[in-house]
Chains A and B, each alone.
Chain A
Amino acid sequence: MTTALAGRGAYRYLLPALLLEALLVFVPLGSSMYYSLHKVRFFQLQEFQWFQNYLDVLTHPVFVNAILVTVAFSVTALILTFAVGFALALFLNHDHLYSTILRTVVLVPYVIAMLVGSMLLKWIFSTESGLATLAYDYFGLGRGSILADPRHAFAALVANGVWRDSAFAMVLLLAGLRSIPPTLIAAARIDGARPFFIFREIVVPLLGPIMLITMVRLLLHFANVLTFPLILTGGGPNGATETVALRIFRVGFEDYDLGRANAMAVILCIFNIAAVSLLFGIFRWRARRAHA
């Protein structure tokens, strides 16, 4: 829906936006690459040293651990969040009043600040609140602390992700479910299909692209997660919950080693761009399917 009228002045309208993006997104990305190739001490750019920083971080066990933690967290949280979100979408795909209310309710953890959400969960999981102790007693696990045990702390981190972001997945998937014409489902029922058969043969295939988009967006979100571990677990115990983003934050803003921090940021960015490219592949595939 474009008009041929006055197409020439387009860039006058776009200039302020492009300028802002160039200056604050693309210049930093460039300078990040530049920094990552230098030795940097306390904000002072020192000698150029090719890929030394990359070599350093990629061979450093702490960073390797952060990568492993990030992968483990992303995959676990992605699967659980998507599953819960999908279940919510199917459960709430009606226009009854209670569905509307419940849709609002489950979105609350998503709209409040991540910092606040993680803090509230930290309180619940902490030994001071007494809730965890109650649970440990109830299951006969003896005295312990969720956030002090590496496996439990990791589970708490995943729980944080599922608690906050399931509703995000739900909203996208609900929009997808709504885009399936009701007559298609009615036709399938009359054709003799049972609910599960309809789900498998009609709903899932038609929802395919949106399911992929949802997963990629969740993956991007989880792979870059900083606030959850920073607030909830502080990356501990013993690096069990230290993600790449948290590692970057620490190296950059606590150790002030901007060379290595930038090298790690570039690595994370490359991963992100790969994920976004995948997203684009999906968009294009969808467009081809829609207009073929």
Chain B
Amino acid sequence: MPRSARLLMRALVSLAIAGAALFPILFGLATSLKPSAEIAAYPPTLLPAAPTLAHYREIFASGTLGYVWNSLFVSVATVVLCLGVGALAAYPLARFRFRGKSAIMVLIVVVMSVPVASLLIPTYTLVADVGLVNTHLGLILVYSAYQLPIVIWILAAYYQSLPEELEWSALIDGYSRLETLWKIVLPLARPGMIAATLFVVTFAWNDFVVAVTLLSSEEKRTLPIGIYNFLGFYGREWGPLLASAMVATLPILVLFVFLQRYFLAGMTGGSVKG
């Protein structure tokens, strides 16, 4: 095949791939901007004839802003807890030799690999027993427990990639191990911290299955639970439903597009390095 024909083929295939990936999102976005009558019309229009923000106004009038705040709060708190605990726990795994280390590594991979869904019922039972059902604290703790293994994995791998001589010289200069971690290692490990943060934020912001089991009251709802309830409430009124889906998607998309380098590093760091 001549070179130009090959290039054309590649371009067409690329376009088809991009279309398959993005069409549902773009069509959802277009629909969320159509007036209800246009949404119901057959045959469907590709682009809104008269774009309107009515559906967005409607969902914000019915409490979406509160959900957004709840999601934000839970996400940030989970990141703080995960990175605080994880940055500490990753250090001995990267640098020390101690009994039980390989057992802990195994444990981390096990928890990292076991999907959330199979833990839902037992977790719910326990969280109910200690009275943390329908609290943000309960949700934050559970999220942290599920995301901590991957945070530790990413950070330990990153610590290991740093030159150990810097830590030795800090120790010789009289810093304690903990001070060395805080003042030397953590500032250097920023890319690793960003990758871990992205993972935790994406999980906490996007999670639906844990939150739907643990949260019940309206004022505690995170955004995905809000959307899930819209699904029951609006039924087949797709305008507000899709508008809320777009609101949930936008922040994550922005984060991803700008920080995807870190995102990819985390994805492979957490699964390929063995």
Contacts and interface: CB of A to CB of B under 8 A. Distances in A.
Q: Report if A and B touch in the complex (beta carbons < 8 A).
A: yes
Interface of A: 1-11, 13-14, 16-18, 20-21, 23-25, 27-29, 31-32, 35, 43, 88, 91, 98, 102, 104-109, 111-117, 119-121, 123-124, 126, 128-131, 133-134, 163, 167-168, 171-172, 175-176, 210, 213, 217, 220-221, 223-227, 231, 245, 248-249, 252-253, 258, 261-262, 265, 268-269, 272-273, 275-276, 279-280, 283, 286-287
Given A29-B119, A111-B252, A248-B120, 9 more contacts: A1-B160, A7-B96, A24-B142, A28-B125, A120-B242, A123-B242, A124-B24, A172-B271, A253-B124
Nearest to A167: B21
18 contacts: A1-B164, A2-B97, A16-B88, A27-B126, A28-B123, A31-B125, A35-B125, A104-B256, A114-B206, A119-B241, A128-B238, A167-B21, A171-B268, A231-B231, A248-B117, A265-B118, A275-B113, A279-B113
A18 B233 CA distance: 41
Interface in B222-274: 224, 227-228, 231, 236, 238, 241-242, 245, 248-249, 252-253, 256-257, 260, 263-264, 267-268, 271-272, 274
B51 to A, nearest CB: 18
A119 B121 contact: no
Contact of B252 (A91, A112, A171): A112
Contacts of B27: 120, 123-124, 129, 131
A268 B118 contact: yes
Contacts of A287: 274
Contacts, number: 284
Contacts of B17: 88, 91, 102, 105-106
A221 B125 CA distance: 23
B114 A130 contact: no
Given A252-B120, A262-B121, A112 B249 contact: yes
Interface stretch (B58-66, B143-151, B188-196): B143-151
Contacts of A121: 24
B31 interface: yes
Contacts of B272: 172, 175-176, 210, 213
Contacts of A172: 267-268, 271-272
B119 to A, nearest CB: 6
A81 B126 CA distance: 35
B191 to A, nearest CB: 17
Nearest to A130: B44
A142 B227 CA distance: 33
Nearest to B265: A175
A32 B40 CA distance: 47
A200 to B, nearest CB: 22
Contacts of B160: 1
Contacts of B97: 2-4, 7
Classify chain B: how many residues form its interface, as a range.
35 or more
Interface in B146-164: 146, 148-149, 152, 160, 164
Given A213-B272, A227-B208, A128 B25 contact: no
Interface string B187-211: 0000000000000001001111100
B160 to A, nearest CB: 6
Contacts of B152: 17
A273 B114 contact: yes
Contacts of A109: 21, 24-25
User: Is the contact region of chain A dominated by helix, strand, or loop, or is it mixed?
Assistant: helix
Given A24-B141, A245-B118, A113 B252 contact: yes
B57 interface: no
Contacts of A261: 121
B110 interface: yes
B70 interface: no
Given A112-B252, A269-B118, A20 B263 contact: no
Nearest to B202: A111
B28 interface: yes
B25 A262 contact: no
A17 B125 contact: no
A13 B88 contact: yes
Contacts of A117: 24
Contact of A131 (B41, B44, B228): B44
Nearest to A279: B113
B85 A16 contact: yes
B131 interface: no
B18 interface: yes
B196 to A, nearest CB: 13
